[in-house]
Structure 1
Amino acid sequence: MRILLWHVHGSWTTAFVQGPHTYVVPVTPDRGPDGLGRARTFDWPDSVVEMPPERLRDADIDVVVLQRPHELALVDAWLGRRPPMIWLEHNAPHGDVPDTRHPAADVPGATLVHVTHFNRLMWDAGRTPTTVVEHGIVDPGPRWTGELPRAAVVVNEPVRRGRTTGTDLLPAFADAAPLDVFGMGTEGVAAHAGLPADRCRAHELTQRDLHAELASRRVYVHPVRWTSLGLSLLEAMHLAMPVVALATTEVTEAVPPGAGVVSNRIDVLTDAVREFVADPLYARSVGEGARAAALARYGLPRFLDDWERLLKEVAR
């Protein structure tokens, strides 16, 4: 099967392209947002092939995976037809939740796929057929050492996104343990949060380096108020890190008892950070529970099996 999709979400796509198909990603001379081509900071197999837009009309595409509203117009312009379409929604809705209408609502020939059950519940999809395929993670292995008594946070653009990503909560967590904030656009996060540099350090790393850095921190903190389900949280669990997270969106499903501490009480969360930092053996035990839970629910084999069934149904 030849599947057309745009390189939009590198971490998710890295899992998706581990399947048995040929994955066609558009590439343009400027490698802009609609033609980024193959990933340069993720490991993708040779089954991911780049193709310029002018060749797509003759490419014999079996299924298209859409991830952004304007991609439907690109399909019409570049392919001149509409193959079976899967509209993949990575995000929780914004705006008038729970009345936010999805762009795929009532689009003929589309199947809407959410990555969490929370998202499916909150988006209004109209009459469009809708299902859920939960995340899958390429296992980085149980790499946690916890040698550094610090807390790791992964969030992109925490200064711009502010309360959405829980940037205003960082001072409370920094009081419990020094923080290392990883992600794109993290520069200036300490000053924005009013924290001294020794309590909050910013790091922008490639995906290849991120896992090793995370695994050396004692605990993973997920302060995000409103997101779908952060893949960094699931990756931290795969690394066997104990996790501390807000009980929002899908987190309560992803982090069962014994895998970490989940609460909407900041005092409960900060106390948990202190306890993990102070007790490495306890942190290790809970981290092992987090890894077991992540492998059971978000392992790559289950993810690929779910997608294989769906692709066969849609392509019939």
Structure 2
Amino acid sequence: MRILLWHVHGSWTTAFVQGPHTYVVPVTPDRGPDGLGRARTFDWPDSVVEVPPERLRDEHIDVVVLQRPHELALVDAWLGRRPPLVWLEHNAPHGDVPDTRHPAADVPGVTLVHVTHFNRLMWDAGPTPTTVVEHGIVDPGPRWTGELPRAAVVVNEPVRRGRTTGTDLLPAFADAAPLDVFGMGTQGVAAHVGLPPDRCRSHELAQRDLHAELARRRVYVHPVRWTSLGLSLLEAMHLAMPVVALATTEVTEAVPPGAGVVSNRIDVLTDAVRDFLADPLYARGVGEAARAAALARYGLPRFLDDWERLLKEVTR
């Protein structure tokens, strides 16, 4: 198949394009949000091809994967036709939850795909055919060493997103362990929450360097209140890191007992961070269980198989 999709979510797309198809990504001269083209910091296969919008009418496209509401208008303008449409929703709803109507709810001929069962439950999709294809991860390998007695956090734009990503919780976790906060827009987060530099450091790394640096930290902390299931959490588990996470959205499904500590009690979570810092052998054992759980549920083969079945269904 030839699949048209926009480069929106680098980590998710990296897994998706490992499949057996040709993946057409629009590219514009400025490589803006609607024409980012191939990833520059992720490893994508040669089957991902860049096509300028003005050439898309001449391209054979079997199916389109939409990820943002305005992409439907781009399909009409750039292709001049509507091949079978799959609307992939990465996020949990915001606003009047659980009564938030999904933009795909009233679009004929669309199959709506969620990345978690929690998201499917919370979005109002109306009569639109809806399913779930859970995340898959390109396995980075069991790289955890835990050599640094620090906690890793991965979040993009923590200052802007604030309570959504649990930025206000960082001081409590920093009291349990010095923090390394990784992600885009993390500079200034320590000052924003009133932490000295020795208790909270910011890092904006290329994706190719991120896993190696995460794996050097003793424990991964996921303070997010309300987003979809963070791929960084699943990646940390693949790295064989012990994880400590809020029991929100899909986290309780992703982190089974023994694979980490999941709770909505901050004291339970911060005590867990202290325990992992104090006992590297304990941290290693829990991290190994986290990796086993992540491989079993979020392994790449299952993810690609699920998508293959869905794509065949919508194009037959």
The CA deviation string for residues 140-170 of structure 1, in whole angstroms up to 9 with x for no partner, is 0000000000000000000000100000000
**Distance (Å, rounded) in 2 between the aligned partners of 1:249 and 1:125:** 18
Question: Aligned-pair distance for 1:34?
Answer: 0.2
The CA deviation string for residues 65-91 of structure 1, in whole angstroms up to 9 with x for no partner, is 000000000000000000000000000
Say which SS state the counterpart of residue 135 (structure 1) adopts. Answer: coil
**Distance (Å, rounded) in 2 between the aligned partners of 1:193 and 1:292:** 35
Question: Aligned-pair distance for 1:57?
Answer: 0.6
Say which SS state the counterpart of residue 195 (structure 1) adopts. Answer: coil
**Distance (Å, rounded) in 2 between the aligned partners of 1:261 and 1:18:** 32
The CA deviation string for residues 266-301 of structure 1, in whole angstroms up to 9 with x for no partner, is 000000000000000000000000000000000000
Partner of 1:273: 273
Say which SS state the counterpart of residue 294 (structure 1) adopts. Answer: helix
Identity %: 94
Question: Aligned-pair distance for 1:106?
Answer: 2.2
Question: Aligned-pair distance for 1:230?
Answer: 0.2
The CA deviation string for residues 164-217 of structure 1, in whole angstroms up to 9 with x for no partner, is 000000000000000000000000000001000000000000110000000000
Say which SS state the counterpart of residue 136 (structure 1) adopts. Answer: coil
Partner of 1:291: 291
Say which SS state the counterpart of residue 23 (structure 2) adopts. Answer: strand
**Distance (Å, rounded) in 2 between the aligned partners of 1:315 and 1:22:** 15
**Distance (Å, rounded) in 2 between the aligned partners of 1:220 and 1:29:** 38
**Distance (Å, rounded) in 1 between the aligned partners of 2:269 and 2:184:** 25
Say which SS state the counterpart of residue 214 (structure 1) adopts. Answer: helix
**Distance (Å, rounded) in 1 between the aligned partners of 2:228 and 2:109:** 25
Question: Aligned-pair distance for 1:107?
Answer: 0.7
Say which SS state the counterpart of residue 42 (structure 2) adopts. Answer: coil
Say which SS state the counterpart of residue 151 (structure 2) adopts. Answer: strand
**Distance (Å, rounded) in 1 between the aligned partners of 2:102 and 2:190:** 36
The CA deviation string for residues 98-123 of structure 1, in whole angstroms up to 9 with x for no partner, is 00000000211100000000000000
The CA deviation string for residues 12-61 of structure 1, in whole angstroms up to 9 with x for no partner, is 00000000000000000110000000000000000000000011111010
Say which SS state the counterpart of residue 275 (structure 1) adopts. Answer: helix
Question: Any gaps of 5 or more consecutive residues in structure 1?
Answer: none
**Distance (Å, rounded) in 2 between the aligned partners of 1:3 and 1:315:** 11
**Distance (Å, rounded) in 1 between the aligned partners of 2:99 and 2:206:** 37
**Distance (Å, rounded) in 2 between the aligned partners of 1:307 and 1:161:** 31
The reply to whether residue 246 of structure 1 matches residue 246 of structure 2 is yes
Say which SS state the counterpart of residue 12 (structure 1) adopts. Answer: helix
The reply to whether residue 255 of structure 1 matches residue 255 of structure 2 is yes
Q: Which runs of 4+ in 1 moved over 2 A?
A: none
Partner of 1:149: 149
The CA deviation string for residues 227-266 of structure 1, in whole angstroms up to 9 with x for no partner, is 1000000000000000000000000000000100000000
Say which SS state the counterpart of residue 104 (structure 1) adopts. Answer: helix
**Distance (Å, rounded) in 2 between the aligned partners of 1:290 and 1:125:** 33
Partner of 1:80: 80
Q: TM-score, normalised by structure 2?
A: 1.00
**Distance (Å, rounded) in 1 between the aligned partners of 2:298 and 2:100:** 27
Partner of 2:37: 37
Aligned length: 316
Question: Aligned-pair distance for 1:92?
Answer: 0.2
The CA deviation string for residues 119-147 of structure 1, in whole angstroms up to 9 with x for no partner, is 00000001100000000000000000000
Say which SS state the counterpart of residue 142 (structure 1) adopts. Answer: coil
Partner of 1:7: 7
RMSD: 0.3
**Distance (Å, rounded) in 2 between the aligned partners of 1:89 and 1:277:** 37
Question: Any gaps of 5 or more consecutive residues in structure 2?
Answer: none
**Distance (Å, rounded) in 2 between the aligned partners of 1:28 and 1:157:** 25
Say which SS state the counterpart of residue 106 (structure 2) adopts. Answer: coil
**Distance (Å, rounded) in 2 between the aligned partners of 1:262 and 1:30:** 43
**Distance (Å, rounded) in 2 between the aligned partners of 1:232 and 1:38:** 21
**Distance (Å, rounded) in 2 between the aligned partners of 1:265 and 1:70:** 39
Q: TM-score, normalised by structure 1?
A: 1.00
Question: Aligned-pair distance for 1:302?
Answer: 0.1
Structure 2 counterparts to residues 1-316 of structure 1, below 5 A: 1-316=1-316
